[in-house]
Amino acid sequence: MTRVFSGIKPTGPVQLGNLLGALRHWVSDQDEAETIFCVVDLHALTVPQDPTELRSRTLELAQLLLAIGIDPNRSTLFVQSHVPEHTELSWILECTAAFGELRRMTQFKDKSTDAEFVSAGLFTYPALMAADILLYDTDRVPVGDDQRQHLELARDLAIRFNHRYGDTFVVPEPSIPKVGARVMDLQHPTRKMSKSDESPQGTILVLEDLASVAKKIKRAVTDTDTEVRFDMEAKPGVSNLLSILSACTGEAPEVIATRYSRYGDLKADCAEAVVETLRPIQDRYATYTADPTGTAAILALGAERARATATGVLARVRQNLGLLPAG
């Protein structure tokens, strides 16, 4: 069976773009693959975090993943720092990666340019991500388009290591959803929906008050003419609403477009579809947050299962590298 692995950082609230672009594919992947999902708390440490917030965000993100439909009976759901093999393999992969190769990562360039403090961890971030993936003999990694380069690096490191030390790692394949799955900012539809503090009116949060969700969609920027047509280039605002509606209903945006002649009707239906997508998630989230010990038990079991696989792969790595066995 194909093994799927993906991770998400516990920084900032999850927004509709994360849900429709990436997370809902995690849920459907459960039907066809062996799935492993990880809250990557160590990745959050590349910039200073408030300890209390980090702890609660990590737990809440796990609860949100459960609420959207990650099923702990079918998936392994765990927190990265609960499986220390990630950091051990990360060091080994840092020694497999070239300095120049890490320096070329566009995310590192973007985040380090003009930053007051650039941690060494920000630089080696992709090696830890490669460790996450390679520790589980992962076949496929569903991620957003912004992670494509990091995934290429994980592949390169696996191939290089296998070449140097003999067959050790499974070389993972990316799985990146089509451009149509990209959710754009409601107020600036040519840029991606991102953190709410940058554009509060253009961003919808998965746990946002539903009346506010509907209001934001009804106030979304549309285009100057009045025709409802799916055309990302010429009509980014309307096309974004069509894509969102399409992601909620499963129907193609071009087909949805043929049913509308007025922006107002499209907005009303889009708002309703999003509200009805979020409502059950918010309800389930409330049941998980009411039971933090239940969530902790799920995560403990997830870590145990993850660790069983990770220790096996790491044993192979140690052996092939030539590290002296301890016993």
CB-count burial class (<10 Å; 0-12, 13-18, 19+) for 15 = buried
Q: Which listed residue (14, 70, 92, 141) binds ligand TRP by CB under 6 A?
A: 141
Query: Which residues on adjacent β-strands are paired with residue 35?
Result: 4, 75
Looking at the Cβ atoms of 5 and 230, the one nearer to ligand TRP is 5
Q: How many residues lie near ligand TRP (CB under 6 A)? A: 13
Site string for ligand TRP, 212-251 (x = CB under 6 A): ----------------------------------------
DSSP 32: T
Spell out the residues 6+ positions from residue 52 whose beta carbon is closer than 8 angstroms to its own: none
Q: Compute the least distance from the CB of residue 143 to ligand TRP, in Å.
A: 5
Phi, psi of 7 (to 5 degrees): -135, 155
Q: Which listed residue (6, 75, 295, 309) binds ligand TRP by CB under 6 A?
A: 6
Long-range pairs, 229-238, Cβ under 8 A, ≥24: 229/257, 230/254, 230/256, 230/257, 232/179, 236/184, 236/189, 236/190, 237/189, 238/263, 238/266
Q: Which listed residue (132, 153, 239, 257) binds ligand TRP by CB under 6 A?
A: 132
Query: What DSSP letter does each residue of 211-239 carry, written as one string?
Result: HHHHHHHHT----SS------TTT-HHHH
Does position 143 bind ligand TRP by CB under 6 A?
A: yes
Identify residues 34-63 at the interface with ligand TRP (CB under 6 A). 40, 43
Q: Catalytic positions, please?
A: 111, 192, 195
Q: Which listed residue (9, 218, 305, 318) binds ligand TRP by CB under 6 A?
A: 9
Does position 172 bind ligand TRP by CB under 6 A?
A: no
Does position 7 bind ligand TRP by CB under 6 A?
A: yes
Looking at the Cβ atoms of 157 and 213, the one nearer to ligand TRP is 157
**Terminal-residue alpha carbon distance, the chain:** 34
User: Which residues would be at the binding site for ligand TRP (CB under 6 A)?
Assistant: 5-7, 9, 40, 43, 129, 132-133, 141, 143, 147, 150
